[in-house]
A and B are shown apart, each in its own frame.
Chain A
Amino acid sequence: MDIALIGNPNTGKTSLFNNLTGSYEYVGNWSGVTVEKKVGQFKNKKDKLIDLPGIYSLTPLSKDEGVVTQFLLSENVDKMINILDASQLERNLHLTIQLLEYGKPVVIGLNMMDVALKRGFQIEPNQLSNQIGIPLKPVIARTGKGCDMLAEAVTSERLPEPNARIVDYGKDIEEAILRFEKLFDNKPNQSTRWLALQMFEGNQYVIKYLENYIESEQLNQFLLEIKDAIKKSAGTSIDQFIFRKRKETINQIMTDAYIKREQIITPLSEKIDAIVTNKILGLPIFFLLMYLMFMLTFDWLGFPLSDLLDGFITGPLSQTIENLLQAAGASAFIHSLILDGIVAGVGGVLVFVPQIFILFFFISLLEDSGYMARVALVMDRLMEAVGLNGKAFIPMMIGFGCNVPGIMAARTIETPKERLLTILLTPLMSCSARLPVYALFVGAFFVQQKAFIVLSLYILGIAVALILAKLFSSTILKGETSFFVIELPPYRLPQFQALWRSTWDKGKGFVKKAGTFIFAGSVFIWLLSYIGPGGMDVALDDSYLAAIGGFIAPLFEPIGFNTWQAGASLITGFLAKEAIISTMNIIYFVPDEASLQGLLSDYFTPLAGYSFMVFILLYIPCLATVATIYKETGSKKWTAFSMVYALIAAYLLALIIYQGGKLLGFM
């Protein structure tokens, strides 16, 4: 059986999904965390549970909302779980009514019971269930309380037919629905009542779907007639009329179910908000938090930990492997492959695991606390000035961890133009995979000001994104009104366990990539450096790798790094940014990070080193990101554009920095 999870945004659908299926999908405290359909299996191993993006209504405004409507139109669902936020019942019930009209059996999961209680609501679940006419189970998805009962109710019980006529829309509309049913020769799978009402509300997905069955002219004619009729009789547009009718029914349900609100308690949330979204303090607080997060990741905590790990990998671990190889009598080839290729390549990346985990921990903290939506609010003015809206800042923040989920998160942006712009610019955010490169170079050239230099790169990425946003939105992506309405969820104290899982889930990707992609890449790069036109085990400068890197290297003369090594690592960096480190470790052929840093100063001046870091920051989205851009825009043109503009911007900026720096007398 296929059971779909449907509910308003940020009501705990994914929390419940994780609980019922034992999986771990992305949970966060803002609207629009889940942006695509996810399928999992119930613990009974028979039924499938489908997690969907949050929606307020089945008539979508943004792309993630469209996913749900599309799903209901084109795929088979047997039953539905409707998650309601008990502290926002009235608003949530609008969707419930539409689900009842859809006609498939529904069970309600009344979530956030703890929050509702704290806010002084008194809800009697049985009363509410009777009023709506379908089973209802109170749950607390965050802790798992009541989830088993809900699972049992939905999987085992024979569910009652939902009352699709819960709302009486009055004579005009009810008659129109009857006439609408006669328009079909062969009926679609969905309830015609539901289809008709959605069409009246202006649901474009449904209208498009209906055009498969009915001539679009006939459909338009029909729509015009009913719209006119409502305009005449009620004096409003039909969608407002429908909204009002539903609201009347909901008010009735609320009174009949004796839902009361006792003395209203000012939640802690509002006290925190008085500070963090303060007129004067809002922005400074945001920057301060970013600064703290950055310093902890990079300087105070992350650096010493990475150093320890580096010491272990290059010291005891390499030694042990070497001893083992010797004892096994491995050939020189195998010996070199493992130590100079794999350990250097993969180990060089794994060294950064502590820093990356710390970074992900903070990103998870931001996501789960509820601060994310506030950042969007605080940033909106700035973003508006460059042709975006505050919501675009959320994908960018996520992009600091990894650009791929960042780009996906852009789905929640309602206007297509702003969404496209966000997708194009998110890759400029310095993702965690770029961090190792900076760490290496600042260690070699800027030991005194290392945190400052890295911070300058992060800020440069944001600055370039904002400038380009302004440029693109006033040239190639003109027009269309901007739009910003955001829901600010209450703050929630993140639970340690949830935080850890979310950090682990993100960090796991990095470790996994090191074990697979970077591993294979290291072997391959080492092979290219081991063989050359002259045969096996050639001098590095005569290897194929040197030939390939040397081919493009002269292009980088004006920006300060005309070496085949730089050329080769830039090519591999397109596959994954961490691969730059692996490649350098392999080609500079040194036992540990410290000696690599010593060696680097033979090939780069500090100025060229900085220019190189700037180039790495901007030059191209990695392969996985490019694939995501293509998937999300569905356009080869924009995908190509995202690579080309980045390359141009990187080159120009590195050129200005290198040549300008030389003029100013830097080395």
Chain B
Amino acid sequence: MLGKLNKGEKCKIIDISRIDLLVRRRLLDLGITEGTEVCIKCYMPFGGPIMVESCGQCIGIRRVEAVQIEVERL
């Protein structure tokens, strides 16, 4: 799961179908979907959002959503 990886690790997304429809739409808008490679940039404290990078673009998402994204380590 994204959200369980360590800072700096790279991974490839294999399934985003479990997350909320609106969030999924927004992620699609930002070019994040099955097959995208992402890199964990940082975690905010107290269970705050996480920042990931894909294709040179950084985005922030909440941890509840991140743990619903299935990934494989690269």
Contact = CB atoms under 8 A, between A and B. Distances in A.
Given A488-B51, A488-B60, A277 B30 contact: no
Interface string B31-51: 101000000011111111101
Interface in A314-348: none
A63 B6 CA distance: 36
A334 B36 CA distance: 74
B47 to A, nearest CB: 7
Contacts of A243: 28, 33
A27 B43 CA distance: 29
Interface in A353-397: 373, 376-378, 380-381, 384, 390
B58 A380 contact: no
B56 A91 contact: no
A56 interface: yes
A59 B44 CA distance: 31
Contacts of A279: 42-45
Given A273-B51, A380-B44, A481 B60 contact: no
A56 B57 CA distance: 14
A61 B30 CA distance: 13
Interface in A260-283: 264, 267, 269-270, 273-274, 277-280, 282-283
B28 to A, nearest CB: 6
B24 to A, nearest CB: 9
Contacts of B42: 273-274, 277-279
Contact of B45 (A270, A280, A384, A390): A280
Contacts of A414: 22, 26
A381 B49 contact: yes
A274 B39 CA distance: 13
Given A278-B42, A414-B22, A88 B55 contact: yes
Contacts of B44: 277, 279, 282, 377-378, 380-381
16 contacts: A61-B26, A91-B29, A91-B30, A91-B57, A119-B56, A243-B28, A277-B44, A390-B60, A483-B20, A483-B26, A484-B60, A485-B30, A485-B61, A488-B51, A488-B58, A488-B59
Interface of B: 20, 22-23, 25-31, 33, 41-49, 51, 53, 55-62, 65
The 5 closest A-B pairs by CB, nearest first: A56-B29, A381-B48, A91-B31, A488-B58, A485-B26
